[in-house]
Every structure is written in C-alpha cells, then in structure tokens.
Structure 1
Amino acid sequence: MHPLTTYAAVMLVAGIGIPVLAALNSALGTRLGSPVAAAAILFCVALFSTLLVLILNQPRAVMGVTSAPKHLLLAGCLVAFYVLTITWAAPKFGVGNAVFFVLLGQLISAAAIDHFGLFGAQVSPLSLTRASGIALMAAGVFVTQQV
C-alpha cells in the first residue's frame, strides 16, 4: 500500500472518531452533570492510553521536551479547549452541528497554516481552486443547518 494511502486511511478513521468522541463525551458529561468532569476523565483515559503506547514504542522520546520551544506545548491547551467545548455544546447544539462548525474552523485554519507554512508546516499556497473548495465546504455546512 502506498504511504499516502495509509496516511489518508488513518486520518479518515481519525475523522470518523471525532464525532464519536463528541457524542460519547457529551453523553458522559450529561450523565455526570458536568462537561468539565467528562473532559477530565477523557484526558485521564487518553493520558494512560498514550503513555502505554509511548512506553511500548519510544520511551526515551519524552526526554526531548525540555529543549522544545515552549509555545509548542500550547497544543495541549487547544485540545483541552476542543474537548471542553464539544462536550459542553453537543448536547445543546447537536453533535452534527458542533462537528460541522469545528470542520469549517479546521478548513480555514489549515488553509492559513499551509499557505504561510506556520509552525514549520509544508507550504501549500492557497490557490483559487483550494479557496473554492473551502467555500463549497462552508456552503455545505450552511445547507446542513437549514431545517
């Protein structure tokens, strides 16, 4: 299998997991009466899962964190923000609605990151075709919100 096919397949599965994560964690938050508690529990499970993978595959890799630029650690704050907000919003707004707007935000942010090569990303200029695709996706999000 071509490496790009593997990447695409893995990312497709990750994408499938995002609404599932939203639905599961919002249900847990509703059951507990606290989206923050549900998010904290999710992160505990995620931490232990990730530590297990780290220990089994690259136990020494974590040592490099002390020399990494500190702004790179803000990614943890962003994932916490995502989990907290999706857990809070999904029961009131709907999983589909919440994920559609997350997707729209991801498209806009990804286009800007790629266009400017931010955070060391590979530069991929925003062409008219790419911008049209993002606009089409935005229109799709809008259409899905119509009752």
Structure 2
Amino acid sequence: MTETLRYALIMLAAGIGIPILAALNAQLGGRIGSPAAAATVLFVVACGAALIVTVATGGMGKLALIPAQPRHLLLAGLLVAFYVLSITWVAPRFGIGNAIFFVLLGQLISATLIDQFGLFGAAVRSVGPARIAGLCLMALGVYLCQKA
C-alpha cells in the first residue's frame, strides 16, 4: 500500500468518525441533560486514549518540550473544545446532517485559505479557477447529499 493511499484511508476513517462522534455525544448529552458534561466525558476518554498512544510510542519525554512552545499553538485545544461543545449542543437541535454540512463547508473554506496563504506553516498551494470550481462542486455535492 502506498503512503498516499494509507494516509487517505486514515483520513477517510477520521471523516467517517466525525458524524458518529456527533451523534453519540449528542445522545449522551441529551441523556444526562448536559452537553458540556458529555463533552467533558469525551475529552477524558480522548485524553486517556492519547496518553496510551503516547506511552506506547515512547513519547512521554516529549511532553517536557511543551512549555517551550509558542502559546498560540495551544489554541488548537480550544478549537477542538469549541467543535465538540458546539456539535454536542447543536446536532440534536439542528440535525446531524445539517450540522456536519456546515462543518464540512467551514473546513473547505478554512483549508483553502490555509493553503492559499501558507498559514500556520502549511505549504502554499495557490487557489486557481480549477480548484475554486472543485471546491464549489464539493460544496454543492455536500449540499445535494443533505437535501436529497
């Protein structure tokens, strides 16, 4: 299996997991009456899983390097918290499909801007007419899948 295919399959699995995460956490939040508490449970389980992988891969010593890193890099944790809290609260009210549609639309827009300007150290990939057309087709496809 080529590296490209392996990476694509890993990210496909991650993408498949996002709506499942939303549905499961929304249901947990509804059952216990607190989307914030459900998000907390999710993060505790996720932290435990990440810790197991860190230990298994010999990365515990790398945690000592965190205090020396630029503080803005830690904002990623706030973005994850915002996503989990918002999807847990919004999905039962708006629908899993609708919520994920707007998540995907936001991802398309954000990824395009990051690539265009090389933000956050990403490689620059200019956005030309063909890429804009492709992004529009992707957005339209996601919209049609939701409306069909």
Per the normalisation by structure 1, the TM-score is 0.95
Runs of 4+ in structure 1 deviating by more than 2 angstroms, as ranges, are 137-147
Which residue identity does 1:68 align to in structure 2? Q
Q: How many residues align?
A: 147
Which residue identity does 1:77 align to in structure 2? L
Q: 1:89 & 1:72 partners in 2: Cα distance?
A: 27
Query: Within 5 Å, which residues of 2 pair with 1:34-45?
Result: 34-45=34-45
Q: What 5-or-longer segments of structure 1 have no aligned partner? A: none
Measured after TM superposition, the shift of residue 139 of structure 1 is 2.2
Q: Is the 8 A contact 1:101 1:141 kept in 2?
A: no
Measured after TM superposition, the shift of residue 133 of structure 1 is 1.4
Structure 1 residues 61 and 99, CA gap change in structure 2 (3 angstroms) = same
Q: What 5-or-longer segments of structure 2 have no aligned partner? A: none
Considering only aligned residues, what root-mean-square deviation do their CA atoms show, in Å?
A: 1.2
Measured after TM superposition, the shift of residue 143 of structure 1 is 3.2
Query: Within 5 Å, which residues of 2 pair with 1:1-147?
Result: 1-57=1-57, 58-146=59-147
Per the normalisation by structure 2, the TM-score is 0.94
Structure 1 residues 146 and 15, CA gap change in structure 2 (3 angstroms) = closer
Which residue identity does 1:54 align to in structure 2? T
Q: 1:141 & 1:17 partners in 2: Cα distance?
A: 17
Q: Is the 8 A contact 2:101 2:143 kept in 1?
A: no
Partner SS, residue 86 of structure 2: helix
